[in-house]
Structures are given as structure tokens and as C-alpha cells.
Amino acid sequence: MIAGLLFDKDGTLFDFQRSWGEWAHGLVSDLAQGDAARFANVAAALGYDPENRVFLPDSLSIAGTARDQARAIAPFMPDRDTAALEIRLAQAARSARMVPAVPLRPLMTQFMAGGIALGVATNDAETAARKQLEVAQIIDVFQYIAGYDSGHGAKPHPGMCTGFARALDLDPRACVMVGDSRHDLEAGRAAGMRVVAVLTGVARAADLAPHADVVLPDIGALPAWIAAQT
């Protein structure tokens, strides 16, 4: 019996490249302020390919926090300290146009009708996550929303996952962490949950399969997988 589903946000609820690829080009351009060398250095530090407007598979931005990204680009931004860069990145993320991986409300409504509690655990800032979920008109379906700055720590630390189970009084063994990166899977596993990988991020199936109970094309395949478990 599955009692709770905890979702990563970027690359799981929302298609990663389609949501962040174009947005990142504008962000890097803004940070570079017309300096071509700075543009190239910031893009490289973030693992971003500006020519194709996509993130590379080993990009820090895939599973890293705004703090991680700020530290990576700080050496190329001498006019701003790391704390200011973290705030800038978190604020900019709120304006990103999220592209759902699948139609989200019908799917989440189906889960709720089955008595499954829903949550979000993201390495994005909580305020940015809430804003994006609100714009996507699905914030109301989640009983738990946590970011790297919510007091539980960042993935792959299991704090957000254990926090979900504790907040909703669920047995972690009856919960599933769903994500598109190893950080998601490692966090869920460490919390005692089952872990499901999806391919709407950047990582490949071969990279995720050793760490997941199952690899699915996207979260739209979850209902069939859940039915098979019960």
C-alpha cells in the first residue's frame, strides 16, 4: 500500500530542459552584463550550453541549490558576494516559466482520490517552488512543500523526505520519492522510502537504474506502477 508520494520539482513535475533552458540564457546574459568572457565562464560553471540552450548532464544546476550555484559562479562575479548571488538566483527562479512534464492536475487528482498524500521536495528555494506551483495552479494539491532552505537540509540528505513522513504521520516504507536525479533517489532511499526515477530531467536511464526501484518515462506512468505494487 502506498500512502504518500513525494515529488522532486524540476525534471519531475516539470520538464527540466523545456522549463529552464531558455530562462537560463537570459539569466547568464544578465549576470554577464555584456562581458563575453564572464558569460562563457558563468555558463560553464553552471553546466549550461548557451548555443543549444540546454543544461549538460553533469550540470550543477540539475540537483544543486541556489547556494551551490552561487558559490560556483562567485569567482567570475567579483562585484557581488556569494550571499547576494544566492538571493539573485533564488529571486530569478521565481520568474521561470515551468512546463509540466504531463498534465498535472488530472494526475494529482487521481492520486488524491486514491487516498495518497502528496508532497514536493526540491533543492530549489521554497519560495520559488511555491510561486511556480501556484502559477501552474497545482499548489493546493500538495500537503507538504519543502526547499533546500526550509530547515531540512538539501538532497541527497534525507531531511526533506523524513520531514514529509513526519509531517503527515506516514510510515516512510509506505512512501515513494519520485525524482530525476541521483540526489532524489539517494535522499529517498536514506529515508527508508521506495524510489522511482523519471526521465524528464537530464539524467539517462542507465545512470538512474542502479539507484531506483524502477525507471519510468515520466510521472504519468506512476498510476500503472502503483497498481502493480498493490
**pLDDT tens digits for range 141-153:** 999 999 999 999 9
Question: pLDDT tens digit string along 172-193?
Answer: 999 999 999 999 999 999 999 9
Q: Indicate the residue among 58, 93, 128 that finishes a domain.
A: 93
pLDDT band at residue 96 using 50, 70 and 90 as cut-offs: confident
The answer to whether residues 181 and 164 belong to one domain is yes
The answer to whether residues 135 and 56 belong to one domain is no
Other beta carbons less than 10 A from residue 221's beta carbon: 16
pLDDT band at residue 97 using 50, 70 and 90 as cut-offs: confident
Q: Is 18 exposed, middle or buried (0-12, 13-18, 19+ CB in 10 A)?
A: middle
DSSP letter at 79 equals: T
Does the pLDDT value for residue 230 go beyond 80? no
The answer to whether residues 102 and 188 belong to one domain is yes
Q: Indicate the residue among 52, 74, 93 that finishes a domain.
A: 93
The answer to whether residues 11 and 87 belong to one domain is no
Q: Are the CB atoms for 176 and 195 separated by under 8 Å?
A: yes
pTM attached to this predicted model: 0.89
Q: Indicate the residue among 93, 112, 147 that finishes a domain.
A: 93
Q: Are the CB atoms for 97 and 23 separated by under 8 Å?
A: yes
Number of domain units in the chain:
2
- pLDDT at position 93, please? 84
Give residue 56's domain range.
17-93
The answer to whether residues 141 and 191 belong to one domain is yes
- pLDDT at position 150, please? 97
Question: pLDDT tens digit string along 56-77?
Answer: 988 888 888 889 999 999 999 8
